[in-house]
Amino acid sequence: MTGKAAIIGGGVIGGGWAARFVLNGWDVAVFDPGPDAARKLEAVLDNARRALPGLGDVALPPEGRLTLCESLAEAVVGAAWIQESVPERLDLKHRVYAELAGHVAAGAIVGSSTSGFKPSQLQAGQALAGQIVVAHPFNPVYLLPLVEVVGSPANDAAMIARACDVLRGLGMRPLHIKAEIDAHIADRLLESVWREALWLVRDGIATTEEIDDAIRYGFGLRWAQMGLFETYRIAGGEAGMRHFMAQFGPALAWPWTRLVDVPELTEDLITRIADQSDAQSGAHTIRELERIRDANLVGMMRALAANDWGAGAVQNAHDAAREDAAGLVAHADDLTDPGQPVLTLTRTVPLDWIDYNGHMTEARYLDAFGQATDRLMKMVGCDAAYIASGGSFFTAETHIRHLDEVRAGAPVTVHTRVLAGAGKKMHLWHEMRSGARLLATGEHMLLHVDLATRRASPPPPAIAGPLKRLAEAQAAQPWPEGAGRAVGAPR
């Protein structure tokens, strides 16, 4: 489903909405009278174009047309969805809705990005009352899927259902909140944590960094993939949610936090929560939930590691500290016997490397060999500092042979030979093993490149010397079986 959307207010949230719509094929008209509106909008769009297309495994449709308009009336002509994202002032929002009246099509949905106002407050005294609905997103709007949808008795059920359908068509997860309440659901939860954090800083108990660390290295990761109640269901063990509440419920009466107004844990409330938890998660055993949780956590922390951030940075530092013990050498000149194949990778096959056949997916063999190539490059001096100075190696050709399968949790190593290392060329031969089993071989031809011209060029002596010494030291080794082989049977 596509059409035209109008965005009123092009700041961080409005710009995020514009990006979400336009990258999903909608034509988008934006009205924002601010002098820097175009620049700010383009900055958000640049980020969205960089990130959103890589989120899924299916290509996005062609971009819609983006237009900056001089007036509200011009922006909303023909729009099926109007998203208001002006500052959080009720009088300002009312003025916007009043100006929209008479210009908005009868079937158009007017969504508000409000974080706190109830829909009935937005609708009060407005000719468009029946078309106004809360559609509260989270930043960055172009990536995070949650959007809280809240209506009032002024909105009919068909209109709410249609709004949710539009949002699902944008790749979002509409959470229809059935009852009006200030700040909806998510911001009320965030506000409670925020208030407690302010007290912790004010009382000198924790710094802002310590509080952020408590979240991002711990419960924030668990919440990201199972939320609150499902996380606590697992904490209750095989007895489930009822057991958890019996064990930890009394703590609600203890003055652990400044938030001391807590509901009494009556049998009715305990039963309601336990029954809802069963309906939510009862299709899985606790062991299954634990394994799902663990797989999700590994995937998230590996993604964080790719950016050397948060919990991923902790793992990167841990890996770096273990390199010596694993037998990985920092520089080729430190090798005890440079005439032997060099250990360039030692790791365990992670959960997210497994395909539908239950073994390592073919793309990950290339990933592993690519990591081994990067290690060999560093060993001859082509490290991050050298690359930043303007030189690197580009892969020109690759040939991988898949000889045996390997499953999650299996240890694998890659040993690398330099078949040739002279002039512009670096010819590598990788062998991947799990124990004594040969799993795969990878043959890679790389060319040294001047990053300024993007053309092949000889490496400087600091790179060429170690590379040549490795190639010469390993020249006495027998030529690897399969090296230089074409795919399939010879013609």
Q: Same domain for 150 and 16? A: yes
Any domain includes 221? yes
- Quote the domain boundaries for residue 455: 327-474
Q: Same domain for 192 and 79? A: no
- Whole-number pLDDT of residue 491: 61
Any domain includes 302? no
Q: Same domain for 150 and 214? A: no
Is 10 annotated to bind a ligand? Reply is yes
Any domain includes 318? no
Is 130 annotated to bind a ligand? Reply is no
Q: Same domain for 439 and 347? A: yes
- Whole-number pLDDT of residue 359: 93
Q: Same domain for 218 and 265? A: yes
The SS3 of residue 199 is: helix
Q: Same domain for 280 and 369? A: no
pLDDT mean values, one per 10 residues, the chain (491 residues) = 93 94 96 93 91 79 94 96 96 96 94 96 97 95 93 97 95 94 93 88 88 90 86 86 84 77 79 86 84 81 85 82 81 93 91 89 95 96 96 96 92 95 96 96 97 96 96 95 82 61
Last residue of a domain, one of 291, 309, 342: 291
Cα angle value 253/254/256 (rounded, 5°)? 130
Q: Same domain for 454 and 352? A: yes
Any domain includes 383? yes
Q: Same domain for 14 and 153? A: yes
Is 14 annotated to bind a ligand? Reply is yes
State the CATH number of the domain containing residue 217.
1.10.1040
Q: What number of residues does the chain have?
A: 491
Half-sphere exposure of 38 toward its Cβ, with a 13 Å CA cutoff? 6
Q: Same domain for 338 and 435? A: yes
**Domains of the chain: total:** 3
Is 312 annotated to bind a ligand? Reply is no
DSSP string, 441-471: EEEEEEEEEETTTTEE-PPPHHHHHHHHHHH
State the CATH number of the domain containing residue 117.
3.40.50.720
Half-sphere exposure of 421 toward its Cβ, with a 13 Å CA cutoff? 24
* Rounded-to-integer distance, Cα 99 and Cα 76, Å: 11
Any domain includes 78? yes
Last residue of a domain, one of 113, 145, 177: 177
Phi, psi of 368 (to 5 degrees): -65, -45
State the CATH number of the domain containing residue 406.
3.10.129.10
Q: Same domain for 113 and 52? A: yes
Last residue of a domain, one of 137, 158, 177: 177
Any domain includes 98? yes
Any domain includes 198? yes
Is 13 annotated to bind a ligand? Reply is yes
Q: Same domain for 24 and 171? A: yes
Q: Same domain for 218 and 339? A: no
Any domain includes 71? yes
